[in-house]
Amino acid sequence: MTWKLQRRQFIRTAGLIATTTSLGGSVRGRWSVEKLRTAHIGVGGMGNADLGSIASHPQVEVAGLCDVDASRLARAHGKQKQARTFSDYRQMLTELGDSVDAVVVSTPDHTHAPAAMSAMNLGKPVYCQKPLTHEVVEARRLNQVAQQKKLVTQMGIQVHSAAPYRRAVQMIQSGMIGRVSHVHAWSNKNWGYDGGSFEGQHVPPSELDWNLWIGTAGMRPYVPQVYHPGNWRRLVDFGTGTLGDMGVHIFDTPYAALQLTAPKWVRTQCRVPTGIGHPAKNLVEYEFPGTPFTTAQMNWKWYDGANAPPGIADLALPKEFELPESYKLPGQGSLFVGQYGVMVLPHVGEALLFPEDKFKDQVRPEVGDLNHYHQWVDACHGNGETSADFSYSGPLTEALLLGVVANRFPGETLQWDAENMSVTNLAAANQLLQSQYRKDFTVENL
């Protein structure tokens, strides 16, 4: 039985008792103040924002806080004094047990899957930051276990719930620009590192538990400024580069609007792999099978770092859809090429349609903002559903991570067999779909 059902049953039972008997305060009180008790793994950086957004729901009580950096943990504890604090999420999940209902994961990418799966193995609903996982196989497993256990899940792509993105999805699906044949998407951020290995033996700061920070990955010496906080994104063992970091936000709208599934193939152009950092600039191409909103096949191109935004000439738009000379593409965003026109969707902003004259009187759907965080809390309480659960965000993440794998084989076209989770023409690429977890950090179902 899922937590959601147990909970519903409790509410039904409490409601029945409340209407048929004269009760003292306790049951009726619990009915009216029923709260989702949350535990948070990673509470610095984005985890701090996640904590604030989840805790702002009136039916949430923060029960546990976990961070491997004691100073970040103390800062969060200052805001949620009633919560118990931990440095090891495994200990937190064991000790808090049934006194926690749901778990939020906001750690670096390589710890998403182990932390989220540990919570799901205990039957807890999970809100997990993007990209869902660090590795392709992890994304598939999280999705499978969430579905088997019928758990409420949500990936932390909060812009998915923002009005401009939701409106753009409706505009595409209404056929405003017709069936889409190409999507170009880009981010001028650079979460890459083209340099060599890191030298020296440094002592980790006293507030940081380096062993727990490394977690499932291979142990190595701590180096200041290289890993914690934030810069782990640049490194292949911990982050997913600009494609994983920003691509998951920017590719979300095309993926949702066009109802894309697994890519057929992926190919990248970038520097020779170093095995240390992600490339500082990337050009990644995908082909997806056709859907009711695309032509028979759909091509997607991703540009990042100094490759972004692409030059107008790189887009090779049909002559009748050429963008005005004065128009500059935003630093981050996507461009859909349809049968009747082009949509540019800045990250984050309202969609623009070209040719301008053709679409100037087009009426846009009225769509409001949703609260991505509260949507998850409400769904845990049995009210409504989440919009980026793992059955959606798992395949989206798998597709992006295949591009990250392709970066290790520039120029090669990786043919993808999604059902069998296999790159059919390059055995070496299959070695990068899943890494071996460090002893003492293995997790059931991963």
Residues that bind ligand NAD (CB under 6 A): 41-42, 44-47, 66-69, 72, 89, 106-109, 111, 129-130, 156, 158, 212-213, 215, 228-230, 245
Whichever of 129 and 143 has its CB closer to ligand NAD, that residue is 129
Q: Cβ 12 to ligand NAD, closest distance in Å?
A: 35
Whichever of 240 and 294 has its CB closer to ligand NAD, that residue is 240
What distance in Å separates the CA atoms of residue 87 and residue 67, rounded to the nearest whole number? 5
Q: Cβ 42 to ligand NAD, closest distance in Å?
A: 3
Whichever of 89 and 354 has its CB closer to ligand NAD, that residue is 89
Which tokens go with 192?
A: 């890459």
Q: Cβ 250 to ligand NAD, closest distance in Å?
A: 11
Whichever of 211 and 295 has its CB closer to ligand NAD, that residue is 211
Whichever of 388 and 423 has its CB closer to ligand NAD, that residue is 388
Whichever of 103 and 429 has its CB closer to ligand NAD, that residue is 103
SS (H, E, C) the chain: CCHHHHHHHHHHHHHHHHHHCCCCHHHHHHHHHCCEEEEEECCCHHHHHHHHHHHCCCCEEEEEEECCEHHHHHHHHHHCCCCEEECCHHHHHHHHHHHCCEEEECCCHHHHHHHHHHHHHCCCCEEEECCCCCCHHHHHHHHHHHHHCCCCEEEECHHHHCHHHHHHHHHHHCCCCCCEEEEEEEECCCCCCCCCCCCCCECCCCCECHHHHHCCCCCCCECCCCCCCCHHHHECCCCCHHHHHCHHHHCHHHHHHCCCCCCCEEEEECCCCCCCECCCCEEEEEEEECCCCEEEEEEEEEEEHHHCCCCHHHHCCCHHHCCCCCCCCCCEEEEEEECCCEEEEECCCCCEEECHHHHCCCCCCCCCCCCHHHHHHHHHCCCCCCCCCHHHHHHHHHHHHHHHHHCCCCCCEEEEECCCCEECCCHHHHCCCCCCCCCCCCCCCC
Q: Which amino acid is at 426?
A: L
What distance in Å separates the CA atoms of residue 79 and residue 253, rounded to the nearest whole number? 34
Q: Cβ 157 to ligand NAD, closest distance in Å?
A: 6
Whichever of 46 and 226 has its CB closer to ligand NAD, that residue is 46
Whichever of 26 and 225 has its CB closer to ligand NAD, that residue is 225
State the residue number with the nearest CB to ligand NAD. Answer: 45
Q: Cβ 258 to ligand NAD, closest distance in Å?
A: 22
Which tokens go with 393?
A: 């965000």
Whichever of 156 and 254 has its CB closer to ligand NAD, that residue is 156
Q: Cβ 67 to ligand NAD, closest distance in Å?
A: 4
Q: Cβ 136 to ligand NAD, closest distance in Å?
A: 16
Q: Cβ 227 to ligand NAD, closest distance in Å?
A: 8
What is the greatest pairwise CA distance in the chain?
A: 76
What distance in Å separates the CA atoms of residue 124 and residue 308, rounded to the nearest whole number? 40
Q: Cβ 71 to ligand NAD, closest distance in Å?
A: 9
Q: Cβ 247 to ligand NAD, closest distance in Å?
A: 11
Q: Which residues are CB-contacts of 182 (< 8 A; sequence separation ≥ 6)?
A: 298, 299, 300, 301, 336, 337
Whichever of 294 and 393 has its CB closer to ligand NAD, that residue is 393
Whichever of 212 and 414 has its CB closer to ligand NAD, that residue is 212
Q: Cβ 158 to ligand NAD, closest distance in Å?
A: 6
